[in-house]
Amino acid sequence: MKVIYKDYKGVICSFLIRKYVVSGSSYITSSQKRLGCGSMRLVDCTTGKLLASEVELADTFWRRFRGLMLRGKFSPGKALLFKFPKPGRRSVHMWFVRFSIDLVYLDSSFRVVELRAQFKPWRFYRPRATVSYLIELPAGTISRARVEVGHEISLKGKR
């Protein structure tokens, strides 16, 4: 599927996504060129709750490095999805991030393996689990959507 969207600066971008469905989940393959996921949404398949209606993809070194640093706000309904080159224990820092966030760590099949709620600015965190993806969400999203370890998350196109 080819997705065309405008990024946060208004630049028209596109990316390709190949959908694999395993128990209702879909995920991105690493073999495709992607510039973002602005027209995608994140859903907790276990509860049916919408986690984010607008997803930004951080799949390059510079996008992962920048993350949410120096941004003024992180609005409800938005998410930053990190796709790592290979599974591992991926540390997160909150230097130069001005607001608290929630962290949802996922394995290669988009299953939640670790959670960190209300992660505050100027902190550092290293997960215990080996992860392939990380979702950064506005603070309070984990508790509002009742996300738990073992839940299955899905990345879906907007309808």
* pTM: predicted TM-score of the whole model, two decimal places: 0.72
pLDDT of residue 46: 93
pLDDT of 73 reads: 76
Give me the amino acid identity at 41: R
How far apart CA 124 and CA 94 sit, in angstroms, is: 6
Give 89's contacts (C-beta < 8 A, 6+ positions apart). 126, 127, 128, 129, 130, 131
- Per-residue confidence (pLDDT) for residue 16, from 0 to 100: 46
- Both tokens of 116, joined, read 């960190």
64 phi, psi to nearest 5 deg: -70, -40
Residue 148 is predicted with a pLDDT of: 97
According to CATH, the superfamily of the domain at 2-157 is Protein of unknown function DUF192 (2.60.120.1140)
Are 136 and 119 a contacting pair, CB within 8 Å? no
Q: pLDDT value at position 79?
A: 92
Q: Which two tokens stand for residue 112?
A: 């939640």
pLDDT for the residue 65: 64
Residuewise pLDDT in 10s, the chain (159 residues) = 444 444 444 555 554 444 333 333 344 443 333 434 557 889 999 999 999 999 988 777 766 666 666 567 778 999 989 888 899 998 888 888 888 999 999 999 999 999 999 989 899 899 999 999 999 999 999 999 999 999 999 988 765
DSSP characters over 52-75: ESEEEEE-SHHHHHHTTTT-S---
Is residue 5 a contact partner of residue 39, using CB atoms and an 8 Å limit? yes
How is the beta sheet containing 40-44 ordered, strand by strand?
50-52, 40-44, 153-157
Structure tokens at 62: 């510079």
| Token duo for residue 110 | 């988009």
The angle subtended at Cα 97 by Cα 71 and Cα 26, nearest 5°, is 75
pLDDT of residue 66: 65
